[in-house]
Amino acid sequence: MKVKSIVINGIIAALYIAVTMLVQPFGYNAIQFRLSEMFNHLVVFNKKYMIGIVLGVFIANLFSPLGMYDLAFGVGQSILSLAITIWSARFIKGQATRMIFNTIVFTIMMFLIAIEIQLVGDIPFALKPFLLTWLTCAAGEFAVMAVGIPVMMLLNKRLHFNKLIEE
């Protein structure tokens, strides 16, 4: 991996962490509005951004009140969802369409976070029926990811994400 790619991924990880910390505690509850999740759309532009995103999730989750559960489930959910989106690029063309698909994937995959919350148990806003927990987690994820689509498209016009990191 080239130095520029390492630096860009480091910046993405740092931004993910900083934005997550800004909205604390809303990034760790059953009703999650982790604004940094919009960075997940970067893999639509280049799959190499996955490294920075996953690193950001891992470090941000070190500060989670959910402890080791959030490291396993949160990082795992990100890796699986990002991998599905990267894989889908073979079949889905167009950045906006892939971001919509990415939003749907992350929203559905929030069932892993709902399982985590059910295992941990005593966290703010946790609803005991699994489906309700999944619904609240998925709703927050969907909202952030959906709002993230136009934000990332706008940023891409200025920053050219697909050219920012080397292939």
**Tokens standing for residue 112:** 């892993």
For 46, residues 6+ apart whose C-beta sits below 8 A from its C-beta are 161, 162, 164, 165, 167
Residue 151, pLDDT > 80, answer: yes
Domains of the chain, first to last? 3-164 (1.10.1760)
Determine which of 4-18, 109-123, 151-165 has the lowest per-residue pLDDT on average: 109-123
Determine which of 12-26, 48-62, 134-148 has the lowest per-residue pLDDT on average: 12-26
Where in 34-155 does DSSP place strands (E)?
A: none
Report how far residue 121's alpha carbon sits from residue 65's, in angstroms, rounded to the nearest whole number.
12
pLDDT in tens, 21-58: 998 866 666 677 889 999 999 999 999 999 999 999 99
Read off the pLDDT of each residue in 102-108 and give the average, rounded to a whole number.
98
